[in-house]
Structure 1
Amino acid sequence: MDYELTEEPPTPREFVALRRAAGMGDRTIEAAETGLGNECVAVSVRADGDLVGMGRVVGDGATVFQVVDIAVDPDHQSRGLGRRVMERLVSWLDANAPPTAYVNLIASEPEFYERFGFETCAPTLVGMDRPSE
């Protein structure tokens, strides 16, 4: 199957649907409409025009960046698409993030992200979140 990677965000409906298909937390269409397009960079993966993978870097564009929303449709996993998304995002970070910027992510599969130079920061730092209802 041929996959097309572009540096553009998915539509809000695609974003919500892919997060759901990949077993990630729900987001509303309204939130996606507000948030998408405000990232530093987004990568979308399409097969025959359908969104099957994505990832984004969000942040202030200078001091802090966070890798978020890395997702691949289960029907398209194990084909290197997550790796290709991360390679594109890391390449963008290498070209655009100042050396003193803080770049982070929350990892459900740390081994995957270690391949791209990310390290566990505990016990010095501990990831925290404020769960939504």
Structure 2
Amino acid sequence: MNHSAQPEVRHEVPAIKDYLALREEAGLSPMSAEGAAVGLPNSMFAVTLYEQGLLVGMGRVIGDGGCFYQVTDIAVKPSCQGRGLGKIIMREIRAFLEQVPERAYISLIADGEAARLYAQFGFKPVMPASQGMYLPR
């Protein structure tokens, strides 16, 4: 792969198999093909980065289209990390979020060091006033 050139930026969801593979390779929790088949088309916004036709990064915004938006699926292929691709993804997502209703609640769950990236785009911790929770399945 030509790592010096900027990746091709597309505003579209990835193919299911590419989505599942990138999530796994980037260390995100595994999802099912059935879930991805339903969830990906329901994205409010998606950004994908390609190099030589291969998916190297992605991010999505999901939500109800009015009151609540969640940034999710931020992933960069490990062999492509450290080149600013996460910033490209977040810049595209942030531009989309500028168009949502003013009082909408925009959230994300930051894993580990990713919080430093998200802070550069204006995201703030909710602790101690609130805390993120999930339902284990």
State whether TM-score is above 0.5: yes
Tell me how far apart the structure 2 counterparts of residues 15 and 36 of structure 1 sit (CA, whole Å).
9
Residue type at the aligned position of 1:122: M
Residue type at the aligned position of 2:134: D
Deviations along 1:24-74, one digit per CA (max 9) or x if unpaired, are 100111111111111110000001001010000000011000000000000
Identity %: 41
Tell me how far apart the structure 2 counterparts of residues 15 and 131 of structure 1 sit (CA, whole Å).
22
Where do 1:1-133 residues align within 5 Å? Answer: 1=2, 2=5, 3-95=7-99, 97-108=100-111, 109-132=114-137
Deviations along 1:87-131, one digit per CA (max 9) or x if unpaired, are 000100002x11100000000121111000000011111000112
Cα RMSD of the aligned pairs, angstroms, is: 0.8
Q: Which runs of 5+ in 2 are unaligned?
A: none
SS in 1 for 2:94: helix
TM-score relative to the length of structure 1: 0.96
Conserved 8 A contact 2:12-2:47: yes
Tell me how far apart the structure 1 counterparts of residues 66 and 115 of structure 2 sit (CA, whole Å).
25
Instruction: Give the aligned length.
Output: 131
SS in 2 for 1:36: helix
Runs of 4+ with deviation above 3 angstroms: none
Tell me how far apart the structure 2 counterparts of residues 68 and 46 of structure 1 sit (CA, whole Å).
18
Q: Which runs of 5+ in 1 are unaligned?
A: none
TM-score relative to the length of structure 2: 0.93
Tell me how far apart the structure 1 counterparts of residues 122 and 136 of structure 2 sit (CA, whole Å).
27
